[in-house]
Chain A
Amino acid sequence: MRRRNRAVYAPLWLTYLFFYTPIAVMVVMSFNSSDAPFVFEGFSLKWYGALAENENVLHGLVNTLIVAVGTTVVATVVGTMLAVGLARHTRSKVLEALGTLPAILPELMLAVGLIIFYSAVQFTLGLHSILLAHLTFGIPLVAVVVRVRLASMDMSLEEASRDLGAGAVPTFLRITLPGLMPGVAAGALLAFTFSLDEFVLAFFTAEPTEPTLPIVIYSMIRFGVTPDINALATILLAVSCTAVIAVQRMTRLTESFK
């Protein structure tokens, strides 16, 4: 084969430069000893220490973890069932669209619709209202990832189980689910990452005294930048990156773009 012209790769390097320069600068700044958030003077971990004493951040973190764990548990169970149901038990395009539509709508639309709905049924706001809001994206997300896995699985085992007289539920638990586990775990991790980072839905559906971490970060950025945001941002980046790399290992997520 003819050797490719290396100039083809130039746009790729420029895109990476664009993507990673701001992130890299921020990470470097998080280890800064200076009190100014944008000027680097020397290496220090003091901003990580400052975070541990920032009560707003800790409160937000606890709230976020509660919401994210709750969202992950419900979205994983329900999303997996939805994926199996859509793939194996119906051919309806309408149900299929219903299962993915909420993930396509702009978050702001869902947020606005939800506060109207919550107020119409006189639902009190709190962590549970954020959790429910996150399910609108979490369930379709898990369902999509699990279906990619389902599509690559051999259906004849399930058919054999049904032919031998096992019902739909035992077949699912004993045959389908074990093979599905990498997809389920990947979906769970993505749902967790999504909920951990989600801002718009949380901002609209939160009770003001119980903010999640992204809401705390938003007000930190908006009302006075202090260097401890750099440290917090670096920690959150590390968590998301670890999760996405783990998902890639479990599902070869990138293969789904072929």
Chain B
Amino acid sequence: MFFLAPGLTLLIVLAIVPMILMLTYMFFPRGRFGGVVYEFTLENFARLNDPLYLGVIGDSFVIAGTVTLLALVIGYPTAYAIAQLPQRWKTIALLAIMLPFWTNFLIRIYAWIVLLSGPGLVNRALIGIGLIDEPLAFLYNEGTIVLGLLYGYLSLMILPIYSAVERLDPRLREASANLGATPVRTFFSVTLPLTLPSALIGAVLVFVPSFGNYVVPELLGGGKAIMLGNMIRDQFLKARDWPFGATLALVMILVTCVLLIAQAVVSRRVRNA
């Protein structure tokens, strides 16, 4: 217990207790200057049933879902390619995937503003080769939000898939080839099914932070398109309606939990099959 006590105490006080406290806040009306009035109410849940909020939640699903699909389509072949590299190159290749993830998120998002803004490099190049006359407005729409989130979290898709392809017993593929399967057939009947649970882990790892993000919609969405994260932030820091902010946060927690459980169930099924 001597080793466990300080860490677990800090984590319980700083993470678990605040989460529980937040869950109780949903049942109280808001206080005038933030905080709550201690009278039981279910009004916060009733307020969720509003086309404005439901629309934003729906948009967040669509955006995070698009990001996850793109990450899968780009991440799978990338991870597969790394696993085919000669041993000495693998470390460097993986490090090059991890490096962007460990650098400042704001700065990586800002780098896209440099690239895509009106007087930015892409527009000037397009004008230079005569494709366009006026700069295009790349920034500040849902497409750039998807781009920014994909850029931010693609590494989280690649690493688990790489790990699964790497662990795959090469004899399985050899057996498939010896039995006459074409490489394409082998990929779809052997490699893909066996690496799918890890792709699912990657999908959850990408979806959860994309769904909950508010920095990318703010910086690359130009404040026009908002996501659930922006709404929660506004309830806490602008509207000072903490109980409703907590209720919106519950949506995010539920989505996170459902995804984590679904992913655990699916990977267990696949493992036992």
* Interface residues of A, Cβ cutoff 8 Å to B: 4, 8-12, 14-16, 18-23, 25-26, 29, 36-39, 77-79, 81-82, 84-86, 88-90, 95, 98-99, 101-102, 104-110, 112-117, 119-120, 132-133, 135-136, 139-140, 143, 168-169, 172, 190, 193, 196-197, 199-200, 204, 214, 217-218, 221-222, 225, 229-230, 233, 236-237, 240-241, 243-245, 248, 252-254, 257-258
Contacts and interface: CB of A to CB of B under 8 A. Distances in A.
A207 to B, nearest CB: 13
A173 B74 CA distance: 46
Contact of B245 (A107, A112, A132): A112
Given A221-B109, A233-B104, 12 more contacts: A8-B81, A14-B78, A22-B111, A23-B108, A26-B114, A78-B10, A81-B7, A85-B1, A116-B18, A139-B10, A229-B110, A244-B95
25 contacts: A19-B151, A78-B7, A81-B2, A81-B3, A85-B3, A85-B7, A89-B1, A89-B4, A105-B256, A106-B208, A106-B209, A109-B249, A109-B252, A109-B253, A112-B236, A190-B102, A199-B215, A214-B104, A222-B219, A230-B114, A237-B103, A241-B99, A254-B91, A254-B94, A257-B166
A98 B12 contact: yes
A54 B189 CA distance: 59
Contacts of B105: 197, 199
Interface residues of B, number: 90
Contacts of A95: 4, 8
Nearest to A92: B4
Contacts of B221: none
Contacts of B6: 77-78, 81-82
Nearest to A143: B7
Contacts, number: 255
A90 B21 contact: no
Interface in B230-252: 232-233, 236-237, 242, 245-246, 249, 252
Nearest to B96: A16
B7 A115 contact: no
A8 B80 contact: yes
A168 B5 CA distance: 15
A222 B19 CA distance: 30
8 closest A-B pairs (Cβ-Cβ)?
A113-B18, A85-B3, A82-B7, A22-B111, A11-B77, A106-B212, A85-B4, A102-B15
A95 B8 CA distance: 8
A256 B214 CA distance: 31
A26 B3 CA distance: 45
With most chain A CB atoms within 10 A of its CB, the pick from B215, B245, B246, B252 is: B215
A225 B113 CA distance: 10
A205 to B, nearest CB: 10
B111 A233 contact: yes
A110 to B, nearest CB: 6
A91 B110 CA distance: 45
